[in-house]
């Protein structure tokens, strides 16, 4: 027999997994879009996109989807890739 608290924990786990996967997908899409802009040589648009990517990464680390160091590492690498292309 499954306890009442175990059922609730399972429901919570499902909801959290869905939310986390949505956030991760949003991060992947924004980073991919940013990299596509850099590879296409659209540096001005990439500069405008960078704060949006930062915001998404900060929210992901704030809600514990990513650890703080991971989002910091990604932000560092993205800004480095932008500066390399200049």
Which pTM does this prediction carry? 0.88
The model's pLDDT over 46-82, given as tens digits with 9 standing for 90+, comes to 999 999 999 999 999 999 999 999 999 999 999 999 9
What structural domains does the chain harbor? 4-85 (1.20.58.110)
d(C-alpha 66, C-alpha 23), whole Å: 10
d(CA 26, CA 76): 18
Beta-carbon count within 10 A of 22 CB: 11
């Amino acid at each position: 027999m499954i306890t009442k608290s175990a059922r609730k924990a399972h429901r919570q786990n499902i909801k959290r997994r869905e939310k986390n996967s949505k956030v991760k997908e949003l991060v992947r899409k924004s980073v991919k879009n940013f990299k596509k802009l850099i590879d296409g040589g659209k540096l001005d648009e990439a500069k405008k996109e960078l704060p949006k990517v930062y915001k998404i990464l900060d929210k992901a680390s704030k809600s514990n989807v990513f650890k703080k160091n991971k989002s910091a590492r990604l932000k560092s690498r993205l800004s480095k890739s932008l500066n390399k292309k200049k």
